[in-house]
Amino acid sequence: MGNPLRDRRSPSDLASSRQVIEFTEKLGEFKRLAGIVQADLDRLEPDTLPRNWRAAPVTGRLSFGFADAQERLAALEGRVEVTIDAVCQRCLGPMRLPLAVELRLVFATATSPAAGEGYEAWELDDEGLRPMDIVEETLIMALPLVARHGRREACDGPPIAADEATDAVRPFASLKDSMAGRE
């Protein structure tokens, strides 16, 4: 058998064997995720482009089992982490973006819908899965729509009003107060 992260097996086989996969892979091994990161970094000036970003370690632990006592619902629990290089949408400069994803999944196909309290359903097109594909997809889904430096990090971009405002603008607060006064 090869690498259990890359092997295609049925969820029930992985759950029955109580497969545990601990891994450290390079970001470049996740082709779709690396493509998204590359497209983002292509907007940087060549002299600010992070070096060796494809070598960033993707680490995690995946544990397969069952979500029910009858052992009908194959489940996956685990955690995946990576710190990627990205472009801050405020200052348009490079930044480091940590991603950490907690997984609690049950697997479903068209013939066997899944349910499980505290679990998220993961639909499968066929009976097999590659754990690496699940890791990659969850990391892609964890990417923010807009990457930007945190409040305490150095950012040369213009300030965002919501970050600096002590009171949020609430346009309907006065309307509510005036309506309350009429009653």
Residue 4 lies in a domain: no
Residue 144 lies in a domain: yes
Residue 37 lies in a domain: yes
Alpha carbon separation from 2 to 8, 18, 137, 178 (Å, rounded): 10, 17, 21, 69
Top pLDDT among 141 and 154 is at: 141
Domain range for 80: 11-153
Residue 169 lies in a domain: no
For the cut 60, the answer to whether the pLDDT of residue 113 exceeds it is no
Total domain count, the chain:
1
Residue 166 lies in a domain: no
For the cut 70, the answer to whether the pLDDT of residue 164 exceeds it is no
144 pLDDT band, cuts 50/70/90, is very high
pTM exceeding the 0.85 threshold for the entire prediction: no
- Stretch among 50-59, 119-128, 135-144 having the lowest mean pLDDT: 119-128
For the cut 80, the answer to whether the pLDDT of residue 160 exceeds it is no
Strands 120-123 and 74-87: unpaired
Asked if 37 and 27 touch (Cβ cutoff 8 Å), the reply is: yes
From 62, 57, 29, select the one nearest 136 (Cα to Cα).
29
Give me the mean pLDDT over the 116-121 stretch: 79
